[in-house]
């Protein structure tokens, strides 16, 4: 390289693609081992870069280094709910049965003989007969649950002698407030209104002013999701049209801002809201009817009461004139 030659080496990129493996997300070392065979070739499925389109949720972590899902905040309450349910099942199984407590008088026997005598009494009085619902037989089952066994306790000389008492079961087995609390936390993290998750609440169509705050937040969340999916649809359409040779990338830059998506409204809230807004405007217009032409002009009423733009006002005037002329022609015919 000469002194006046200020050139740099250019690294040529032969091919760029994504590799798909069935094991999912892996570390760098595991990824290299899973996608490379013994000969140094690619073992996964090659996917061209232009064939993949993705749009993230727009939610980032605190360091803005990882894109999170909308379900990310539901992981913790879901795991907590599972642990509470498992704990409730274990507690009910272990505390539900009423177990007996046998106090066996062993007198002045040595420790080894006292333990042997206690085991003999346990074997003598223990009943392990189990009814098999599948075959209808009563059989001796040695695989009993240790958590439901009776208690056998030795009692030395000078005590009250042999005694059998009953250990009552749990008294608060029907309380589920802690599980319901974590269940509501899980439903709340899913951004879905709680009223839709509870089976006791029926669906009712009321006034828009009676819609709960959760329904409003849910409708806004749906709009945000639709906006993100619109970006995905744009990218898919762009790749399809360009790869098919229908348009060029320059043509797409011109028509991209002209594409609109019409999503279906899946609830009655929008219709109720628009209907009530229109009714309120008509009521205000009815109250101001005697002041129009004296204190307020029609143009001012159209703009401030009916919230119409100048184009809408112009179109409305033309439609009113057209309807008036058509009505006059019909009256002349009759």
Q: Does residue 1 register a pLDDT over 50?
A: no
Please compute the mean of the pLDDT values over residues 177-205 and round it to a whole number.
Answer: 77
Please compute the mean of the pLDDT values over residues 257-270 and round it to a whole number.
Answer: 76
* Model confidence band, residue 145 (pLDDT cutoffs 50, 70, 90): very low
48 and 103: one domain? no
Say if 29 falls within a structural domain: yes
Say if 58 falls within a structural domain: yes
Would you say 58 and 35 are in contact if contact means Cβ atoms under 8 Å apart?
no
pLDDT tens column, 287-334: 888 888 888 888 898 889 888 888 888 888 888 888 877 777 666 665
Q: What is the mean pLDDT of the chain?
A: 77
Say if 8 falls within a structural domain: no
Distance separating alpha carbons of residues 104 and 162, to the nearest angstrom: 5
* Percent of the chain's residues with pLDDT above 70: 72
pLDDT tens column, 205-214: 555 556 677 7
Distance separating alpha carbons of residues 120 and 278, to the nearest angstrom: 88
| Confidence (pLDDT) at 246 | 92
Weakest mean pLDDT among 64-78, 119-133, 224-238: 119-133
| Confidence (pLDDT) at 2 | 47
Q: Which of 143, 167, 191 is the last residue of a domain?
A: 167
By three-state DSSP, how is residue 307 classified? coil
How many structural domains comprise the chain?
3
Please compute the mean of the pLDDT values over residues 103-108 and round it to a whole number.
Answer: 80
Distance separating alpha carbons of residues 12 and 118, to the nearest angstrom: 85
Would you say 148 and 99 are in contact if contact means Cβ atoms under 8 Å apart?
yes
Q: What is the 3-state secondary structure (H, E, C) of 98-112?
A: CEEEEEEEEECCCHH
Say if 320 falls within a structural domain: yes
* Model confidence band, residue 58 (pLDDT cutoffs 50, 70, 90): confident
* Model confidence band, residue 78 (pLDDT cutoffs 50, 70, 90): very high
* Model confidence band, residue 127 (pLDDT cutoffs 50, 70, 90): low
| Confidence (pLDDT) at 195 | 75
Distance separating alpha carbons of residues 280 and 138, to the nearest angstrom: 77
Say if 28 falls within a structural domain: yes
67 and 101: one domain? no
Please compute the mean of the pLDDT values over residues 43-60 and round it to a whole number.
Answer: 82
The residue segments making up the domain with residue 24 are 17-71
Say if 210 falls within a structural domain: no
Six token digits for residue 246:
């229908």
pLDDT tens column, 160-178: 667 767 767 667 777 788 8
107 and 45: one domain? no
* Percent of the chain's residues with pLDDT above 90: 4
Say if 110 falls within a structural domain: yes
By three-state DSSP, how is residue 296 classified? strand
Please compute the mean of the pLDDT values over residues 277-291 and round it to a whole number.
Answer: 88
Q: Which of 167, 197, 216 is the last residue of a domain?
A: 167
Say if 203 falls within a structural domain: no
CA dihedral sign of residues 279, 280, 281, 286 = positive
| Confidence (pLDDT) at 326 | 75
Please compute the mean of the pLDDT values over residues 24-45 and round it to a whole number.
Answer: 66
Q: Which residues contact residue 99 at a Cβ distance below 8 angstroms, ignoring those fewer than 6 apart?
A: 148, 149, 150, 151, 166, 167
50 and 105: one domain? no
Q: Which of 167, 199, 221 is the last residue of a domain?
A: 167
Question: What is the secondary structure of 267-287 as a DSSP string?
Answer: SSHHHHHHHHHHHHHHHHHHH
Please compute the mean of the pLDDT values over residues 262-276 and round it to a whole number.
Answer: 73
Distance separating alpha carbons of residues 21 and 33, to the nearest angstrom: 11
């Amino acid at each position: 390289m000469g002194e006046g030659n200020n050139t740099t080496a250019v690294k040529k990129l032969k091919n760029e693609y994504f590799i798909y493996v069935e094991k999912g997300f892996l570390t760098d070392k595991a990824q290299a081992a899973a996608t490379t065979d013994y000969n140094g070739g690619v073992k996964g499925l090659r996917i061209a870069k232009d064939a993949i389109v993705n749009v993230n949720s727009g939610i980032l972590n605190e360091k803005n280094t990882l894109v999170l899902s909308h379900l990310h905040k539901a992981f913790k309450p879901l795991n907590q709910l599972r642990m509470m349910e498992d704990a409730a099942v274990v507690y009910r199984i272990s505390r539900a049965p009423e177990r007996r407590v046998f106090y066996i008088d062993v007198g002045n026997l040595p420790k080894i003989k006292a333990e042997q005598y206690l085991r003999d009494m346990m074997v003598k009085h223990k009943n392990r007969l189990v009814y098999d619902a599948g075959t209808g037989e009563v059989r001796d089952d040695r695989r009993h649950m240790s958590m439901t066994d009776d208690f056998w306790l030795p009692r030395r000389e000078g005590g009250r002698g042999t005694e059998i008492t009953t250990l009552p079961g749990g008294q608060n087995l029907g309380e589920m407030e802690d599980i319901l609390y974590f269940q509501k936390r899980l439903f709340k993290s899913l951004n879905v209104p709680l009223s839709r998750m509870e089976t006791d609440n029926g669906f009712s169509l009321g006034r828009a002013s009676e819609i709960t705050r959760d329904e409003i937040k849910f409708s806004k969340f749906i709009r945000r999701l639709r906006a993100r999916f619109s970006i995905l649809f744009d990218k898919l359409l762009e790749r399809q049209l360009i790869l098919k040779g229908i348009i060029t990338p320059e043509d797409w830059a011109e028509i991209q801002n002209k594409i609109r998506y019409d999503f279906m409204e899946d609830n009655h809230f929008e219709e109720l809201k628009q209907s009530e807004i229109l009714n309120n405007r008509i009521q205000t217009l009815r109250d101001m009817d005697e002041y129009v032409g004296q204190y307020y002009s029609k143009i001012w009423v159209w703009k401030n009461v009916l919230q119409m733009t100048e184009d809408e006002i112009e179109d409305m005037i033309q439609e009113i004139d057209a309807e008036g002329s058509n009505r006059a022609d019909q009256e002349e015919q009759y």
